[in-house]
Chains A and B, each alone.
Chain A
Amino acid sequence: EDQVTQSPEALRLQEGESSSLNCSYTVSGLRGLFWYRQDPGKGPEFLFTLYSAGEEKEKERLKATLTKKESFLHITAPKPEDSATYLCAVQASGANNLFFGTGTRLTVIP
């Protein structure tokens, strides 16, 4: 059965304090791993898609990496506007739907 575990559940950082969020997954053949950002009361906003181990994607202060068992979302020198819940999801081979983790709630303090 597909499983996605994100850690930590919540993370508080000082502005400028870099850190990483973890997404461990088990899936019967990975088609893709996705990172989304969700603000309170809003729908998820797409960030990255990763397909194979060793792949990396970057966007502004965010960098996502992928291994065969987990993905990391690295946040470099975060700003208060980076505060949000970050969701990880996997898509199995042959499937159209996404299976989500419970997210990491990030708070960046000025």
Chain B
Amino acid sequence: GAVVSQHPSRVICKSGTSVKIECRSLDFQATTMFWYRQFPKKSLMLMATSNEGSKATYEQGVEKDKFLINHASLTLSTLTVTSAHPEDSSFYICSAPQAGRDEQFFGPGTRLTVL
């Protein structure tokens, strides 16, 4: 149980385009999901908390107009990187806690490369 998927696993795009990343909880419902960013050999940095049915909460320094988050249902959150630039290239990972448990279950991550 507690499986989280992400799609796509890898994406390459041109500078200026937008990219959508999906995060799904496959066998449980998640009213809250988290989006992290990870640079090579660095730890996970929380970007935002995605809340089903309400606006996302962004961490300090994260541009909410650039990283659009939509939590459309109890099993799906999407992160859209708008007008992507090379500095947005990174490994994006989502996670979700299962109801009644404190630990978060992570997706496999999405490698974004912006040319």
- A-side residues, CB < 8 A to B, are 31-32, 34, 36, 41-46, 49, 87, 91, 96-103, 105
Contacts and interface: CB of A to CB of B under 8 A. Distances in A.
Contact of B102 (A49, A100, A105): A49
Interface of B: 4, 6, 32, 34, 41-46, 49, 91, 93, 95, 97, 102-109, 111
Given A43-B93, A49-B102, A49-B103, A100 B109 contact: no
Q: Which of B32, B34, B106, B107 has the most CB of A within 10 A?
A: B106
Contacts of A101: 43
Contacts of A87: 43-44
* Prevailing SS type, chain B contact patch: strand
A100 B46 CA distance: 9
Contact of A34 (B6, B42, B103, B111): B103
Contacts of B6: 43
A99 B46 CA distance: 8
A103 B43 contact: yes
B63 to A, nearest CB: 19
Contacts of B102: 31-32, 34, 49, 91
Contacts of A41: 91, 109, 111
A29 to B, nearest CB: 14
A43 B109 contact: yes
Given A97-B34, A102-B43, A43 B103 contact: no
A105 B13 CA distance: 30
25 contacts: A32-B103, A34-B102, A41-B109, A42-B109, A43-B4, A43-B6, A43-B93, A43-B106, A43-B108, A44-B93, A44-B95, A44-B106, A46-B103, A46-B104, A46-B105, A49-B102, A49-B103, A87-B44, A97-B34, A97-B46, A98-B34, A98-B46, A98-B95, A100-B43, A102-B42
